[in-house]
Structure 1
Amino acid sequence: MNRFLALPLVVAGGLMLAGCDDDSDSALGTVTEAEVRIIHASPDAPPVNILVDGEAAVEGADYKEVALLTPPVGDYDLAVQGIIPGVTGDAAIVIGPANFTFEDGIRYNVVAVDTVAGIRPLTFNDTDPDFSSTTDVRVRIGHLAPNAPAVDVYVTAAGDGDDLSMTDPLLANVSFEDVADAVEVPAGDYRVQITANGATQAVFDSGSVSLPAGADLFIGAVQNTGANASATGASPVSLIVVNGADVSEIYDADQNAGVRVVHNSADAPEVDVLVDDTEALANIAFTEAAPSAALDEYASLPADTYNIKVAASADNSIVPIEADLTLANGQGYTVAAVGLLGDNTIEALVLEDSVRSIGTQASLRVVHGATAAGNVDVYLLPGDQTAIGNASPTLEDVPFKAVTGYLPVPQGTYNLRITDTDGNIAISADGVALDNGGVYTVIARDGQPTLTDFGLILLDDFVQP
């Protein structure tokens, strides 16, 4: 099984022409470009902007994302600016500015490491960035996980390595921020395992991974922030695999996907959830989440495609919702039953969850699940303000089944108002406490038995496990 999970590349094309105009040597094709790779590996830091000589070259690079810059060779000031709600300008700069001289024939790697409280740059260079081979792969390994002690790294053929006491590690006693020299190995299928230094019990096992010929890989162990990371026995790390400008992620082979189900259909009875025709969750009533509403308290399933049926608890032959669901290792999912049974609009709304705590913000996701409300405006008012007055909506003209991303919100206590587009209040909740590092999901729902008696379903850090 291919265990690589593709992650976004942050495109930084604007810097490629930095300092050039129509009369410069670039028009003649004589400008020599450097190669600078920037990796966000700070597990609780917000998305960041990369500033070059005070200008944004990359915007919104998130954890485990990579940006590749190709500026003309020369001297530059680099800084990392956190995207922090309520903080702007120089006050948001978390690294630098620091001066760098970039030359030809070198790949410069700048990695933001450690937690946000101690975030700093880790730099290392690749002196031969033009590796090419039809038979081999080049691999460089680094320890980027602030939550992990010194480790040993074992690399064996796929299928081997069940008894690490009989195998020597490829790398021993690798400490946080250590980056090993590159090694070249034949292309093929491998198994990567990580143990505490001196131990032979793996705390991370990649399973079988394919390393293709000609790839020039940096593999970094980063703090695991995927679904099921808080489960007993979960690996503390995952691996990011960077190949030039491409990045993917490998979770521990046994991490699995995480799934929870939310009953948000006001006229539907209690339901069971069948996975490949086997009962997995039972007797879920309207407004309930199973197995839990709390953050990262999922039902764990191996990555695969499953047939999911939502059936009436009283009679499993009544199946108002059936769907095939493809699950990825390390990803969390919320499957919400939305719509109404009576008018045959009931369906599954599948949300991809994040469980990552960001230390500089509360992360708030809003889901419109109230069929009778029409389009709505959402107001997040300061705690000392109860009337909407002249406030602008945080979210405007939100349609049924809309799902926001995770909105960065400053820590504080708020009063929530959800109105129709004419300003009539449909849902009101006072004293909503949002903390830095918290992850919150709120679903606007219909009422029962009166649909217009609207309310909220609260998930994640709104709920104690």
Structure 2
Amino acid sequence: MSGRLILRRLGAFGAVLSVAAAVCAIDTAPAAAAAPVGYVRLAHLSPDTPDVDVYLSTVGGTGAPQVFPGVGYGVVSKYLPLPTGTYAVSMRLAGAPATDPPVLTTNVTVADGKAYSVAGVGKHADLGLKVIDDDLSPPPSGKAKVRVVQASVRAPVLNLSIAGGASIASNVSFATTTDYLQVQPGRWTLRAEGVNGGPAGTLGVHLDSGNVYSVLVLDAKNGGLSAELRLDAAGMGKPPTGGVQTGAGGTSRSPLSRVPAGIGALAGTGVVVLLCVAGLVAYQRRRQLASR
């Protein structure tokens, strides 16, 4: 092989490497800033209302809504991360056609980094959808934050306290939510009780330092009250995310969608470079054998 031909082939090979390097540089560049998101969770807090199908869609959008079927009383979803914007939340009786007018509908405007609970509240006769602003900011060091979500008809007004100890919230009316209160972390027995000797219920809880919680007070199936603890945010105010745990609603992503975009292109570039190297080596080998 002449020196000039070798130089031409090396130049071509160098050009391939330059293209590969450029592609690698593009694909390994820092990712663009993530789009702003907020968080929404859904709740059914009406004790005499049957199961509902919940629809979540963008206002003015063209995409199909997310549908969460068969959501029953006492269900509170995890937070759904959503791009900022305005969303419509509507409820239909479970199994009703999507073309039926919703029983309830409301809008929630999602701001960057903010969290909201959209809950069906009240008795069935005057059922409404309520948008609750959730303050997920972490408590001071060595503290936890707790609030009360009052969803019991049996105790239209109730008190929540640490059993045998301090009061957490007093005179909490049905279909209301208290502000968050800073408390000492640890193991506690909480007692929810209707005022003036009404029905009562207890709940053993372990509150971790730095976490934010809601105590949900419900009508128990066997009479009396039941209390349930919901984690609103852990550590530095990060909400747990996911879908509504009942039904098959929400969207899912293939594991492939979690592969960084640059890896696929980088792998393709690597194949091109290897093929070019292999081809050049094979050609040189054939030339050497032919000249012997």
Q: Which residue of 1 aligns with 2:212?
A: 439
Residue from 127, 149, 159 that aligns with 1:346: 127
Q: Any idea what the Cα deviations from partners look like across 1:164-213, whole Å, max 9, x if unmatched?
A: x89xxxxxxxxxxxxxxxxxxxxxxxxxxxxxxxx84156x3xxxxxxxx
Amino acid at match of 1:409: V
Q: Any idea what the Cα deviations from partners look like across 1:197-243, whole Å, max 9, x if unmatched?
A: xx84156x3xxxxxxxxxxxxxxxxxxxxxxxxxxxxxxxxxxxxxx
Q: Which residue of 1 aligns with 2:159?
A: 377
2: CA distance, partners of 1:354 / 1:462: 9
Q: Which residue of 1 aligns with 2:109?
A: 326
Aligned-pair identity in percent equals: 24
Task: Say whether 1:287 aligns with 2:74.
Answer: yes
Residue from 364, 370, 394 that aligns with 2:146: 364
1: CA distance, partners of 2:166 / 2:208: 23
2: CA distance, partners of 1:443 / 1:318: 30
Specify whether residues 330 and 338 from structure 1 end up closer, same or farther in structure 2 by C-alpha distance, changes over 3 A only. Answer: same
1: CA distance, partners of 2:188 / 2:146: 12
2: CA distance, partners of 1:409 / 1:399: 22
Q: Which residue of 2 aligns with 1:261?
A: 42
Residue from 17, 25, 30 that aligns with 1:201: 30
1: CA distance, partners of 2:228 / 2:53: 17
Structure 1 contact 447–455 (Cα < 8 Å) conserved: yes
Structure 1 contact 366–442 (Cα < 8 Å) conserved: yes
Shift of residue 323, structure 1, vs aligned partner: 0.9
Structure 1 contact 271–285 (Cα < 8 Å) conserved: no
1: CA distance, partners of 2:228 / 2:122: 15
Task: Say whether 1:393 aligns with 2:167.
Answer: yes
Q: Bigger relative contact order, structure 1 or 2, given CA contacts below 8 A and separation 6+?
A: 2
Residue from 163, 175, 181 that aligns with 1:407: 181
Root mean square deviation, CA, Å: 2.9
Where do 1:212-361 residues align within 5 Å? 254-266=35-47, 267-276=49-58, 278-283=64-69, 284-290=71-77, 292=78, 298-315=79-96, 316=98, 317=100, 319-341=102-124, 343=125, 345-358=126-139, 359-361=141-143
What TM-score do you get using the length of structure 2 for normalisation? 0.60
Specify whether residues 432 and 398 from structure 1 end up closer, same or farther in structure 2 by C-alpha distance, changes over 3 A only. Answer: same
2: CA distance, partners of 1:318 / 1:457: 32
SS in 1 for 2:167: coil
2: CA distance, partners of 1:301 / 1:462: 17
1: CA distance, partners of 2:228 / 2:190: 13
Specify whether residues 356 and 349 from structure 1 end up closer, same or farther in structure 2 by C-alpha distance, changes over 3 A only. Answer: same
What TM-score do you get using the length of structure 1 for normalisation? 0.39
Shift of residue 436, structure 1, vs aligned partner: 0.7
Shift of residue 306, structure 1, vs aligned partner: 2.3
1: CA distance, partners of 2:232 / 2:42: 17
Residue from 454, 457, 461 that aligns with 2:225: 454
2: CA distance, partners of 1:461 / 1:350: 15
SS in 1 for 2:51: coil
Equivalences, count: 202
Shift of residue 458, structure 1, vs aligned partner: 3.0
Amino acid at match of 1:444: V
Structure 1 contact 274–311 (Cα < 8 Å) conserved: no
SS in 2 for 1:314: coil
Structure 1 contact 416–432 (Cα < 8 Å) conserved: yes
Specify whether residues 318 and 371 from structure 1 end up closer, same or farther in structure 2 by C-alpha distance, changes over 3 A only. Answer: farther
Shift of residue 379, structure 1, vs aligned partner: 0.9
SS in 2 for 1:330: coil
Larger helix proportion of the pair: 2
1: CA distance, partners of 2:103 / 2:123: 10
Amino acid at match of 2:174: F
Q: Any idea what the Cα deviations from partners look like across 1:90-114, whole Å, max 9, x if unmatched?
A: xxxxxxxxxxxxxxxxxxxxxxxxx
Report which stretch shifted further, 312-321 or 455-464. 455-464
Amino acid at match of 2:118: V
Q: Which residue of 1 aligns with 2:268?
A: none
Larger strand proportion of the pair: 1
Specify whether residues 444 and 318 from structure 1 end up closer, same or farther in structure 2 by C-alpha distance, changes over 3 A only. Answer: farther
Specify whether residues 357 and 393 from structure 1 end up closer, same or farther in structure 2 by C-alpha distance, changes over 3 A only. Answer: closer
2: CA distance, partners of 1:281 / 1:325: 16
Amino acid at match of 1:330: G
Specify whether residues 312 and 334 from structure 1 end up closer, same or farther in structure 2 by C-alpha distance, changes over 3 A only. Answer: same
Shift of residue 461, structure 1, vs aligned partner: 6.0
Q: Structure 2: 5+ residue runs without aligned partners?
A: 1-24, 235-239, 242-292
